[in-house]
Structure formats: C-alpha cells, structure tokens
C-alpha cells in the first residue's frame, strides 16, 4: 500500500483534477510496483465546499481513500500529521491539493522508497512558475531558513516529501506544538534523497499561504530549531555593556576635567531609550521560548478530528476508466 496524504484548505476548484491525477498515479504504480494507492484527504475545516465535493468524488474513485475533517483550522502541517496517523502505509508521501507540485512526483518518490534506496525522499524546486514577487520572497525565505534554522534544507526549499514506515513512526513521536514539520523531517536524519521538480503555476483560486502564515512558520522554525535569538541577545547585551562602560569613562573624565557643568538631558534620554528597547527585546525573545515550552507542557492534541470516512475504491478496471473519463 502506498499512502498519499493530501491536506485540503480552500481547494474545491482543483479537487476534481487532483482526484483524476491520483487515479492515474494509482494505475501506474499498480502496473510498475504491484501496489495500490491509498489517498488520505484531510480537510482542515475549509470554509468552501471541499469536504462535500470529496464526499461526492471519492466513492467512485478507483483507489481506496480516507476522508478526515478537522474540527477547526489547525494548519497544513497539523493536517499532514493527521493524515500520516490515519494512513496505513508502509510507504507514505504527501502532495498539495493546489496541483502546483506535479502528482507524477509521487511515482518517483515511491520508486526510491520501494527499492530501499532511501528512507526519506524530498522534492526540491529548481524552478517556480510564480509571480516575480512570490519568487523573490520565496528565495529570501529559504536562504534565511538555510542560514539560521536548518543548513541541510535544499536551496529551493521543500514543500513535499515521502518516507517509509520507520520514519513515519519516529516523526509522529515528535508531538511539538508550533514547530516545523519539514524541519523535523530533516532533524530526524536517516537516509535522504532529493528529487528535483519545477513548480507549476497556480490554476485555481488564490493561495491560503499568506505572508502572515509564512512569517509565523519562519518564526516557529527559528525558535524550534536554534538558540540563535538567545545568542544574539547575549551578544547585543555584551556590546551594550562595553559601549556603556566606554561612555561612562568618557563622561567621568570630562566631569573631572571640568568639561561638564550640568547633566546632559539628551545623553540620558538616548541611553535610557536604547537599553529600555534592548530589555524589551530580550524579554520578548525569552518569552517566546518560555511560551513554546508552556504550550508543549499542556500536552494538547495537535489537531482534533470531527469526522472520518473510508472509501474502498473500485477494483473494476472498466469502472476506473469510466471514472477517469468523467472527471476529465
């Protein structure tokens, strides 16, 4: 069994084409590897009709599938974790529902996993058919991620991956809130293989991956995998102490030489503002680490499932061909 996890949020327009593409993947892997496809759709409380549409499409699909509905929006990484928990394996992959990553990549992932060539397979982007602003921001985002969070991340970034059952089990043991699933995949180690692909243009709707979500993801990744903010804070504090000592000696010397007859209002205000801001920044950074520790100490589930359904899939070849024809 080859389980493919699909997080779904505001993807109603692309779902018919996606289900058709997965039906084709199912046909190919049955012929090449003799294993069926299992698709696990996790609807992350999408406000559109994605869940209702999947309830209509999946019973007629030629592959077996599971449909999970979250009680509220927990985020795409939580949806992937829910899908991995639900999937049966022993090989697992994930793919976005917006069709920007080619579903054919799933076949390449399985080829590497089935032959035991690797334990983890990641898709690395070598090109993006996105607007210029999106490409520039993505490039800066992943450069910063590599420099600060995880140097092992490929230059083009990672949006999808595949793994065997051993990696899946270890990954699910790491129940960290406000973390990065991709970061955890690379933190685990194991044998990794990279498969490059070109990201397609978005055909339907607008991405729900907003700047705010990207920024939160970057901040969560930074605080989850590095102590760089604390080290920078220590460095700033040390530099501030040195500057203050030098400034103090200058003021003391000037006072002894009679150069200062009255206290300097400007110097006092600037000094208080500088160290006040430094203290506030320090409290904020330390508070971010403390808050994340507190969140993990609650041991709340990372997602809550509201509804779960299973669809057996059609084993009849003619029925499968008819389904592919209808959803074209």
* Cα atoms in the 13 Å half-sphere on the side-chain side of 189: 1
**pLDDT for the residue 116:** 86
**pLDDT for the residue 317:** 46
Mean pLDDT of the 268-295 span: 72
Strand, helix or coil for residue 204: coil
Determine which of 38-42, 76-80, 87-91, 217-221 has the lowest per-residue pLDDT on average: 217-221
Q: Are 62 and 313 in contact (CB under 8 A)?
A: yes
**pLDDT for the residue 319:** 47
Which architecture, in CATH terms, is 2-129+160-206+301-326? Alpha-Beta Complex (3.90)
Which residues are registered as beta bridge partners of 181? none
Question: Using CA of residue 166, residue 169, residue 172, residue 173, what is the dihedral sign?
Answer: negative
**pLDDT for the residue 41:** 94
Determine which of 68-77, 78-87, 118-127, 129-138 has the lowest per-residue pLDDT on average: 129-138
pLDDT band of residue 40 (cuts 50, 70, 90) is very high
| Predicted structure pTM score | 0.71
Q: In the predicted model, what is the mean pLDDT of the chain? A: 78
Name the DSSP class of 125: E
- Peptide bond connecting 90 to the previous residue in cis, omega within 30 degrees of 0: yes
**pLDDT for the residue 66:** 92
Distance between CA 146 and CA 155 in Å, rounded? 8
Domain ranges of the chain: 2-129+160-206+301-326, 228-297
Contacts of 255 (CB under 8 A, 6+ apart): none
Q: Give percent above pLDDT 70 in the chain.
A: 78
Question: Using CA of residue 278, residue 279, residue 283, residue 284, what is the dihedral sign?
Answer: negative
pLDDT tens per residue, range 294-306: 676 777 777 888 8
**pLDDT for the residue 251:** 67
Distance between CA 73 and CA 59 in Å, rounded? 25
């Amino acid at each position: 069994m080859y389980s493919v996890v699909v997080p779904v949020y505001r993807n109603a327009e692309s779902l018919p084409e996606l289900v058709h593409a997965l039906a084709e993947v199912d046909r190919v892997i049955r012929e090449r590897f003799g294993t069926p496809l299992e698709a696990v759709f996790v609807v992350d409380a999408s406000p559109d009709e994605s869940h209702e549409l999947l309830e209509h499409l999946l019973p007629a699909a030629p592959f077996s599938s599971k449909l999970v509905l979250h009680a509220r929006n927990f985020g795409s990484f939580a949806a992937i974790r829910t899908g991995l928990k639900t999937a049966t394996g022993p090989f697992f992959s994930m793919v976005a529902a917006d069709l920007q990553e080619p579903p054919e990549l799933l076949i390449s992932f399985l080829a590497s996993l089935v032959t035991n060539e690797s334990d983890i397979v990641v898709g690395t982007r070598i090109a993006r058919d996105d607007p210029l602003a999106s490409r520039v921001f993505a490039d800066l985002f992943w450069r910063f991620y590599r420099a600060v969070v995880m140097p092992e991340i490929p230059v083009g970034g990672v949006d999808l991956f595949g793994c065997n059952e051993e990696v899946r089990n270890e990954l699910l043991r790491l129940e960290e809130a406000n973390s990065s699933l991709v970061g955890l995949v690379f933190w685990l180690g194991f044998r990794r293989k990279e498969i490059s692909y070109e990201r397609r243009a978005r055909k339907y709707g607008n991405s729900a991956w907003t700047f705010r979500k990207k920024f939160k993801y970057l901040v969560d990744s930074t605080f989850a995998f590095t102590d760089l903010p604390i080290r920078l804070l220590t460095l700033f504090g040390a530099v501030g102490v040195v500057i203050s000592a030098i400034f103090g000696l200058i003021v003391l010397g000037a006072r002894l030489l009679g150069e200062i007859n009255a206290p300097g209002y400007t110097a006092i205000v600037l000094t208080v503002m500088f160290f006040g801001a430094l203290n506030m920044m320090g409290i904020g950074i330390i508070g971010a680490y403390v808050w994340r520790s507190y969140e993990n100490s609650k041991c709340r589930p990372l997602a809550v499932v509201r509804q779960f359904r299973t669809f057996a899939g059609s084993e009849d070849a003619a029925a499968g061909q008819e389904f592919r024809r209808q959803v074209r």
